[in-house]
Chain A
């Protein structure tokens, strides 16, 4: 399954490595381990 949504990178962001941390929404009945996903800003 894929969950998705638009991530807008602000115009003042430095180029290069960044992190997207993904976890279930606050108050979800589903537990999650916050997962850090390395990304690159171009």
Chain B
């Protein structure tokens, strides 16, 4: 890293601020990012508006390098008993209260492709930081939630994913059991497999992984898109298994393909 930085500084007639800033950011990540202890994330929701739905649904987004900024989201309905959730409350000031937030109204008609109701949040400035994420959109499907945003106006981060499509996550009716999501790509990556949980002895299995951040449970993974990692960057999978004598063995595989 130091040699790369030195090379950039000494070979460019004019320093490349964006590149240098990115490298500094990566060094910072190495210094302070640590795994998030989801069991310690407070699930106590503050003041709420008078929800119309009999079953409002809740989720929590974590922002900040170690998830220190907690942003509640709640789905409601304009009219109780409606077919879809059509109001979204987002705790934009991260104070834990939703009664001071203006609801975002969902699209009048479900998305013709996904059949979900889109909520266009737009820009989202993370309280207590200089970070502003763009084109933030959440979609309420019948049995799951999805979202995407341009992280700090740059590349896309999106969710919610799990090891198979039936496991993609959703909000819960109990705030104290609200699922927790970690969007973005500032933190060290973690991984979730996709339809790859069963391997066959003596055979090849195409092992597929999402690259991004784990949430607090299965189905809450957020990921970067297939254009994020530059050429030459890839994860490595190590199969750790026992042979017939019970001895631990390892097989290493480069996951270089994309889709």
Contacts and interface: CB of A to CB of B under 8 A. Distances in A.
B233 A39 contact: no
A41 B200 contact: yes
Contact of A9 (B203, B237, B238, B255): B203
Contacts of B224: 1
Nearest to A29: B26
B242 A13 contact: yes
B240 A32 contact: no
Contacts, number: 190
Nearest to A25: B236
B38 interface: no
A24 B258 contact: no
Contacts of A41: 199-201, 241
Contact of B233 (A22, A24, A40): A24
Interface in B190-236: 190-194, 196-212, 214, 223-229, 233-236
Interface of B: 1, 4, 23, 26, 29-30, 33, 35, 187-194, 196-212, 214, 223-229, 233-244, 246, 249, 251, 253-259
Given A4-B257, A20-B239, 9 more contacts: A1-B258, A4-B255, A5-B207, A7-B204, A10-B249, A14-B242, A18-B199, A19-B239, A22-B236
